[in-house]
Chain A
Amino acid sequence: MKKWMIYWQIIVSTMTLQMKQSFARPMFRFCLICNPIVNTIFLYEMFLTKGPDAFLNHVVLGAGLMGIWGCICFSSVGDINRERWSGTLPLIYVAPGGFGLIVFGKVFGNTIMSLLTFVLSYVTAGVISGQWLYIVNIGYFLVSMVLMIVCFVVVSLCFAYIMMLSRKTELYMNLIEIPLVFICGFTFPVEVLPEWAQAISNLLAPTWAARLLRMSVGQVDKSVYVECTGILVIELLLMVLFTIGLYHWMDKRIRIRATLEVS
């Protein structure tokens, strides 16, 4: 068997396992199904007077982005802790398939499954408003969606590796969930934030992924879209490099600090 086929087999089997395991957990089902529906209803009420553009941008996409980020926090990132408590973390860590690849499979499986939050937000918004939203530029929208998936996979990988170093994962994942929703402008434009906060927003790849997604559902200014895509790609590349470095550093540190198991 060729090397890439072995890697592919590991990613697919991990994705499948992850999807089965995640869906079996009530918390994940809540994040995946209930959360986007409830968020859509509340956001709809909040943006009721802001016109149709805000409705599409901030209600449907906002609830979808909040939902996907919630699933990532409580599954992709939280999974490290679950594996730790079930005693399987050391097993997958020393498996010759490669721990990095296994975590990637988990994160990718979760992110793909979490896309359901967008579908649910779309359907909920349609049902409560009686208006069915129409995407003008399907091509731009698909490109934005792919970039958003890549962005969330990279962000989740980075957080998952950081969580390997600590046993206080649950505390941290609760700490990162809501601030990221605000600072990356998932539910409202980052322009309403103070300037210092906007500077932080612009350094974070999910801000640009959310911006691109918003742009792609309305009238697209090609030059602005290309500029935003460029910034997102650069930020993602930097983050990939940081994540690779982090993985190698973490690989050494966790064996020194003994954080793979529950003490």
Chain B
Amino acid sequence: MDTVIEVKDVKRDYITTKGWFLRKKKTLTAVDGINFCVNRGEIFGLLGENGAGKTTTIKMLITLLAPTAGVCKVLGFDTYKEADKIRGEINFVFGGEMGVYRRLSARDNLLYFAGLYKIKGKEAKKRTEELLKLVELEDAADRLVETYSKGMIQRLQIARGLINNPKIVFMDEPTVGLDPIGANMLRDIIRKLKEEGRTVLLTTHYMQEADELCDRIAIINKGKMIAMDTPENLKKSYGEKGMDSTLEQVFLALVKKEGV
């Protein structure tokens, strides 16, 4: 199978300094030597508690952060040294209400980002209309984003994340803040992306969602990878013997075992 994401012995430290003259350095290791590969067309889940290192891993893969050590490759290119070769082929969606221009309409937001992704005028308009329809924002497309609800902003974020027809989509807790209808819509979009042969790397705190969508799941705890397999195999390997364990039970058991 074709590997599109390669993470090898990756480590990421955050260094903070305090004071003006006698500056004290403090190092926090967010990701501590993780390894995994994602194949083309796969939905790959990264699970872990808050602060486990999921978002940092995604940020390194989308060329926003440099790894402190190890190799991070997307589509065969190094995410730090060859970022320019990757950026046009990928996109990302971060959960929450950030990442949109609130004083612009949804349509203007999408058209602007289409321009930044070098999509031509007519094509940009067509793509914008398709995406507004996909996330059901056609009726509110010309309203300023500052008048939107949390869920509507989140749906706009999803549309923005798909503006360039990315080969790989990175989604960091994309269903945070979405109502059940919005969350369901997003899950349908993710399934459709898979049908089209696109790769999705997803982080979520909703275990049922991960179980339902992901082909494979990696569980991270305190920056280290503690398990990686298909949801079924994870349940078989780490669930209680003779019982039908859920992914949530497996996750809790694994994290407790490693020590919180």
Contacts and interface: CB of A to CB of B under 8 A. Distances in A.
B86 to A, nearest CB: 9
Interface string B88-130: 1000001010111111100010011101111011000000000
B63 interface: yes
Given A20-B104, A21-B103, A88-B101, A97 B65 contact: no
Contacts of B99: 86-88, 90-91
B66 A92 contact: no
Contacts of A92: 116
Interface residues of B, number: 34
A255 B84 CA distance: 14
B64 A13 contact: no
Interface of B is mostly: loop
B98 A94 contact: no
Contact of B101 (A17, A90, A95, A258): A17
A20 B102 CA distance: 11
A181 interface: no
Interface residues of A, number: 28
Interface of A is mostly: helix
B104 A87 contact: no
B62 interface: yes
Contact of A96 (B65, B87, B102): B87
Given A94-B62, A97-B117, A260-B64, 15 more contacts: A9-B121, A10-B115, A13-B111, A13-B116, A86-B101, A87-B94, A87-B99, A88-B100, A91-B99, A94-B64, A94-B87, A95-B116, A96-B116, A102-B116, A258-B65
Interface of A: 1, 6, 9-10, 13-14, 17, 20-21, 24, 86-88, 90-97, 102, 252, 255-258, 260
28 contacts: A1-B120, A6-B118, A9-B115, A13-B111, A13-B112, A13-B115, A17-B101, A17-B108, A24-B103, A86-B102, A87-B96, A87-B98, A87-B99, A88-B100, A90-B64, A91-B99, A91-B113, A91-B160, A92-B116, A94-B63, A95-B116, A95-B117, A97-B116, A255-B63, A255-B64, A255-B80, A258-B14, A260-B64
